[in-house]
Amino acid sequence: MRHVKKKQDSVPVNVLIRNSKKTAKERLREFFELFGKEDEVLVIINADPDAVASAMAVKRLLRYRVKSVVIGYPNEIRRLSNLAMLDLLKIQLEKLQGLKLKNFTKKIILDSQPTHLPCFEKIKFDAVIDHHPPTNGWTSPFVDVRKDYGATASMFVEYLRAADIKPSVSLATALFYAIKVDTQNFEKKANLADAISFRYLFNIANQNLVRKIELSELRLSELNYFKTALAAMKVSKKRLYAHVGRVRNPDILVIIADFFNHVHQVSWSVVSGIHGERLVVIFRCDGYKTNAGKLAEKTFAKYGSAGGHREAARAEVPLKNLLAADEDFTTDTLKRLTTKHM
């Protein structure tokens, strides 16, 4: 999942500089120092491949160092490829709503930050490990935020290697797939560290399982959303806009936006839909002299949550926050709101 965040200032520069100068073994040592044998650890994620794989890595790192590790998530997992990943790799997750936070002595958030979702904001995290642009308004005893990395999974490969732990086939497959997804096969933002981690995992991961997960993408019923998007789309100045209307699963909007982003001479694809009582908007662009994250923030941060990377971003807006004139949301509305900030 690519992430929604509230518009905020950056974490203090000295924190990021200090963080960037640490070696993998230094980070690992400081991370391990957080925990004791009797700790019951809750790993909280907004479940997508990168977050799930990273949580699996934490579970392996802490296997013999704490009493227990539970992975909790707040979001609905409906995307077929994500469900296939959980099923094929036999990954155990727990719904966050069903867990009692007071039962856990330590809490970690991965591939996200405390300000990314309202349900995270009141939780005191002992560790924050993420690759998204840093936000402000939170503190934690342990912070490892590296916005230049393409995937949090790449960071955890470094943790595992620093601990001299060779990942199991299942863990390696999850991490390998996560890096593929978050870097879009290295077509998106990535650095040398991502490539090194990817290469390390290549001969350990089960490539057949990766392929099975990748092929689990669309339900037959979801093809109708493509039909709606194609009928509703409008193209202007190499920008493609489409409002799909109500959707059962907002992940279909991501798939459609990615599909439109492959169209020749389209430098922007902006796709929206309504899920429950929220407007969800997905932004995709080439990232060349453009910034999807900033556009999402400028357009929708005043109505709800918005943000992301240069090439990909997302906004989620409660319908009640939209102006009365925009309650009947259409492709024209989407185009009008976003165009004035481009």
Greatest mean pLDDT among 160-174, 244-258, 283-297 lies in: 160-174
Tokens of 215: 């092929």
- The answer to whether 247 and 262 are in contact (CB under 8 A) is no
Fold of 13-215: inorganic pyrophosphatase (n-terminal core) (3.90.1640)
Q: How far apart are the first and last CA of the chain?
A: 24
Rounded to two decimals, what is the model's pTM?
0.69
Position 3 scores a pLDDT of 46
Amino acid at 328: D
Q: Which of 262, 240, 259 is nearest to 251 (CA)?
A: 259
- b/e map of 51-88 (b: 16 or more CB within 10 Å)? bbbbbbbbbbbbeeebeebbbbbebebebbbbebbbeb
Name the one residue in this structure whose structure tokens are 């700790």: 39
- The answer to whether 42 and 99 are in contact (CB under 8 A) is yes
Q: Which of 191, 216, 285, 207 is nearest to 77 (CA)?
A: 216
- CA atoms of 280 and 292, how far apart (whole Å): 15
Paired strand residues for 272: 243, 281
Instruction: State percent of the chain over pLDDT 70.
Output: 93
326-341 pLDDT tens trace: 568 899 999 999 987 7
Q: Which of 307, 51, 9, 298 is nearest to 135 (CA)?
A: 9
Position 187 scores a pLDDT of 79
- Segment 254-269 mean pLDDT: 93
Name the one residue in this structure whose structure tokens are 């923030």: 297
Position 33 scores a pLDDT of 97
Q: What does the mean pLDDT of the chain come to?
A: 90
Total Cβ atoms within 10 A of residue 342: 13
76-126 pLDDT tens trace: 898 889 999 999 999 999 999 999 999 999 999 999 999 988 899 889 999
| Greater pLDDT, 286 or 23 | 23
What lies within 8 Å, CB to CB, of 255 at 6+ separation is: 217, 218, 222
- CA atoms of 324 and 307, how far apart (whole Å): 24
Task: Mean pLDDT check: name the lowest of 62-71, 111-120, 183-192, 274-283.
Answer: 183-192
Q: Which of 295, 342, 238, 283 is nearest to 2 (CA)?
A: 283
Q: What are the residue ranges spanned by the domains of the chain? A: 13-215, 220-339
Fold of 220-339: Diaminopimelate Epimerase; Chain A, domain 1 (3.10.310)
What lies within 8 Å, CB to CB, of 20 at 6+ separation is: 146
Cα angle value 4/7/10 (rounded, 5°): 110
